[in-house]
Chain A
Amino acid sequence: GAVVSQHPSWVICKSGTSVKIECRSLDFQATTMFWYRQFPKQSLMLMATSNEGSKATYEQGVEKDKFLINHASLTLSTLTVTSAHPEDSSFYICSASLGGLAFFGQGTRLTVV
C-alpha cells in the first residue's frame, strides 16, 4: 500500500517560534495533499488543501499567514506554524490520495510552551 511519512512525530517549541512539519508520499506522487488538525478529544478538522505548484486552499477560519503551506514537489508538502502560541498546540496530520483512497501520515503532536 501507499505510504505517507510525516516528520517530526512530536515537537515542543517555545511560544513565538515557528515550526515546520513535513509530509512525504514515499512511493507515489501526490499532486494534492491535505492537512488536518485535531485538538484533544475532538475530531479531525480539515485545515487546508495543498496543491503542488500552486497556492494552498484554506478552509474557512484558518489563517493562511499563520499556517504556511508549501507543496514544492510531487512528494513533499510542508506546513509551517509561524509564531506559534499555546493555543496552536494540537495534533497535525496530513494525507495524500492514491487511487481514490486517502493515506494518512503518522501525525505530529505539537506542544507550544
Chain B
Amino acid sequence: SQQGEEDPQALSIQEGENATMNCSYKTSINNLQWYRQNSGRGLVHLILIRSNEREKHSGRLRVTLDTSKKSSSLLITASRAADTASYFCATEPRISAGGTSYGKLTFGQGTILTVHP
C-alpha cells in the first residue's frame, strides 16, 4: 500500500533558487531513496540514504533523514530549468527479524517541480 506522503505536491520556482521537497513515511525502513521522473518516462535514481544516516550529499542534492519523525527532505540547490520533473521518495521496508526486502519500494505521492528559466 502507498504510505509515503510528499509535500508540496507542486513547486514552482525560478532558475537559481533552491527547491526543497519533503517526504513522510509510516513504517520502519532500511533506506529511503529519491527518484526523478521526467514526464511520462522512466525513473532516474538520485540518491539513497540508509536508516542509520542523517544527511547525504550528491552534487547539488542534499538529503536528510529523521527516523524519529519518519521524514526526509530533498534539497536541490541552484536549480536549473532542466531540473523540471516529478520527484518521488521511496522507502525500502525493514522486515522483522532483521530481514530485508531489497528492491520492494513504497513510493510517495511525488512533488512536481517546475523551474522557470
Q: Interface on A for B, CB 8 Å cutoff?
A: 6, 32, 34, 36, 42-46, 49, 59-60, 91, 93, 95-97, 100-107, 109
Contact = CB atoms under 8 A, between A and B. Distances in A.
A29 to B, nearest CB: 13
A91 B39 CA distance: 11
Interface of B: 1-2, 4, 31, 33, 40-43, 45, 48, 88, 90, 92, 100, 102-110
Contacts of A34: 103-105
Contacts, number: 60
B41 A107 contact: yes
Given A104-B43, A106-B42, A46 B102 contact: no
B105 A43 contact: no
Chain B CB count within 10 A is highest, among A91, A97, A106, for A97
B9 to A, nearest CB: 10
A58 to B, nearest CB: 13
